[in-house]
Chain A
């Protein structure tokens, strides 16, 4: 990794902090799940943090973020309050959707975080529509739509890519290719080969593939893509190669992956890798980073405490927000 000229030391420490926050937050989630405080289905993002954090660092506040159900990382990186995210996971009244949504459907309109979507591929046409409105209103906002390799095979992906390109809409399609959709490897589901970013070729959507384990590379590629998009050049497709370190969900014992493949990816863990870069290349002190670690851990503890102490929603919450009138 080269030292990036446009990033101050403070910026870089912030990137580290955000990745560490997502990691520690999710480790806490796993713990809370085992204790029965988080119920249902829980999908962790551990291993993929460089993507959410790198992209968030390149976005403007007015930009929209739309994502899939593995959404804690995107939400925290975008600046959603960890306390309210945790409370949502706990199903509490203080959660972002008052406990209605849970883990997979986080959102916060104040952060232009337009939601996690649990119907695979369902978010892509919606992102395209947000972009169409943005173009119509001449707002210069970009929409980032995260999706996984599994979504490549849903019709919505192809329909959205075609429309966005045809109408030159400001969408950044961001593919988090972690090589698996649930327990099934991409080679067994996608006919287009490993150069997945070429999925954009047919629709004339310019594309690049990048290393999803390198937060600086993700940030830089996202900045460049957004620059093009903001000049009304239409959509862009970024494919970041990454790996989820845990199972698909808490219920998945991950019996389908090769142990040496797992070890190879674990060795590229984006957080220690970046930490090493910070101390060795960017000359940031160990002490400063340790201080960050302590702060992050406190923030996560505070989020869990907040969630724990928050009230559960009552039955009347069921009838809120069904329609405006």
Chain B
């Protein structure tokens, strides 16, 4: 029987309905372009909803010395200088406007005593910088964008999954997607496509990420010829829950430390004093995560292999007001009252710094007409992301991707999608449903997670990485032959087939990046190359799919112009240096 396919045409097609995707779609629609946005979940429920601690923006509401230079400085330093400085600059300059825009659209942030937007301290931010709503900032952000997008002219496709991008010659032409509800298929032809599909934390077992984070968009674009960069950089958040087993990995917001929480090992030692005497608990995430890991390795871990986090000294009223979600989460899921007792935390996979390589100003990839923004894109965060810099990232670059796509779409004709390619993809997508024998996608996902943890976790070395690569290649072959019994109607087994294929591809890219980067920097910790090396700091590892398979090449990190480089020569953050000068 010939498959019934729905055909749609748009100027701008946004794949992804998290913060980055919604912001991009709002931008192109407000510019009068015919826009659609696709998401795997219901509107307003994307991964972004989970963000807790806040959105970083140098508003200077509490610390007037703050400004874009200091935010830029903190971002580059935490990224260990392999960030694209142009992205870091744009981001630091534009975040305040994006936050205020949210306020104008209806977001209600916590307030300072004089009625401004409240800002909280966070790891490795020089000043109090994170605008927030208790510990549910992501929800406020996505709800505001949801409420905004409902008032502009955008077609919103909910619970729909894109499985392949199409090209017309070299340029992007659109995608095909299936509706989760009933397995119907739809082809979207578009002049410009924005990928905003988030990260791929689900490639790991212990993760704070939602099921959506399977890296679809990055994998689809990679297959379509787009370049990936910095794939080895996967962030371990230092504090995930450890117990009971069902909640292992669920995030404990950095806000707990931001609000004064302290870390102790099993011997009652405040060990961060040893690893980073200045910033202690509020050191950058890579440092804190590694410190906890080292304590556990040295036999000073807590019963479930982590560290103690203690905020009881702040008093119950304070904790309940500042961290209501955390209080609730521990009461409901772990029977622990964090206002009365310390609790266990351990590192959890949290964020993917690497991703699609984009232009800092337009968010375009190397494929004409294809743009990317948010967690699926690389460049802003370098080797380690600062807390709060992702929510600002998705707003700043979501908007820029929407604008970039708008410009591109205005100046181009509607592309054509080759029908033979569509038919081939339809067959591939439907095949798992009719196979009488084949691999179980749930099992393969578990295998993938096991491989990632064993060979390319927080601590890495050459031989293990090579083993991991070999195992992943084997696994990739098995993923071509998965089986999903049942019908096309809302069938999670069938849905996971494509998730697993995408994660396997990106898992391989993580390993390949980690093999090439023969040093330790930020999130990449190699015990066979324990030092940060100057030469390696000058390159990003870029990957592309060619006729010969995946090829990895070093690309020079763009050098900063003198006036920006100068900011790093003063020995202190720009805001502090200026303050000192004034005195």
**Are these two chains actual partners, yes or no?**
no
Q: A interface vs B, CB < 8 Å?
A: none
Q: B interface vs A, CB < 8 Å?
A: none
